[in-house]
Amino acid sequence: MSSFKKYRVGDKFKLDRCNPAATPFLEGTEAQQARQLDALAIELDKLQNLLHAAGQRKVLLVLQGMDTSGKDGTIRWVFSRTSPLGVRVAAFKAPTEEERARDFLWRCHAVVPRAGELTVWNRSHYEDVLVPVVEGWIDKAQTRRRYAQINDFERLLTETGTVIVKCMLHISPEVQRQRLQERVDTPGKQWKFSMGDLDVRKKWVPYQAAYEKALRATSTRDAPWYVIPADSKMHRNLMIARLLVKTLDRMDLRVPPSDPALEALVVT
């Protein structure tokens, strides 16, 4: 089994050195892989129950990636056995007029995880150092300030009990082409397709450059980035599930001590 260390973003990170078709976390047949994912999902449910029972720490999973990289699919499969009461998902769309009238992190504060909660961000505050950069809406100085503000924001979260796991779902342009075409060709999936997806696809190279700079500038000791090879949906799901289970295991979560007042209690 591969180490996550290889996929953790460091100071010398280069996105083009990461193979989106790699499958280092796949083992066995497809049936065996499906069973492994189900077992990890069950283990994640147990760990999330401990997180909720302890009621002190929080976990934030950030999912970023180009269109069709599988953010929705990751949430569907990795949390397939987890109680919906213990996991909250926040989807970040284009900012509303109300949100644009405030600083770019304003909308994030309202959806950070509560004590005992695991929250998933489907896209995130990182959209504000990707889209504006590629479109030329902010300059280099403004971009650097946003990197610093993001690091400060995430340090605030970690210092107040939040464990942050950031995953960039890395796909190839050919796999994206296939997935977009599948949406176009499948009546039941056409609602997922937008003509704007093609406009963004034309800017693939600038977006890859923006991702590389953003990931390198904001991967810190307490809130590191992991690049997830995501051409294979199963590999993507297994890798993120393993990463989350490993993260929660390391938190050493425990059931709260028994209440002495309950020792002699008899329910009638």
Average pLDDT value for residue range 16-25: 96
Give me the count of residues in the chain. Answer: 268
Cα(17)–Cα(230) distance, integer angstroms? 14
- Looking at residue 170, its amino acid is H
Residue 2: pLDDT band (50, 70, 90) is: low
Cα(8)–Cα(227) distance, integer angstroms? 7
Cα(221)–Cα(122) distance, integer angstroms? 22
Q: Could you give phi then psi for residue 113, rounded to 5 degrees?
A: -65, 145
Residue 262: pLDDT band (50, 70, 90) is: confident
Q: What is the pLDDT of residues 97-119, one digit of tens each?
A: 999 999 999 999 999 999 999 99
Q: What is the DSSP letter of 5?
A: G
Average pLDDT value for residue range 106-133: 96
Chain centre to alpha carbon of residue 46:
20
Note whether 151 and 220 are within 8 A (CB): yes
Count CA atoms within 13 Å of residue 29 on its CB side.
Answer: 2
User: Hey, how many other C-beta atoms are within 10 angstroms of the C-beta on 246?
Assistant: 11
Q: What is the DSSP letter of 164?
A: E
Beta-bridge partner residues of 20: none
Separation in Å, CA 5 to CA 49, 228, 243: 27, 12, 11
- For every residue of 39-73, which 3-state class applies, written as one string? HHHHHHHHHHHHHHHHCCCEEEEEEEECCCCCHHH
pTM to 2 decimal places = 0.94
Q: Could you give phi then psi for residue 163, rounded to 5 degrees?
A: -95, 125
Mean of the per-residue pLDDT values for the chain? 95
Chain centre to alpha carbon of residue 31:
25
Note whether 242 and 79 are within 8 A (CB): no
Q: What is the pLDDT of residues 143-189, one digit of tens each?
A: 999 999 999 999 999 999 999 999 999 999 999 999 999 999 999 99
Q: What is the DSSP string of 120-146?
A: EEES-GGGGGTHHHHHTSS-HHHHHHH
Residue 83: pLDDT band (50, 70, 90) is: confident
Residue 147 contacts by C-beta under 8 Å, 6 or more apart in sequence? 129, 214, 217, 218
Structure tokens at 192: 């997922």
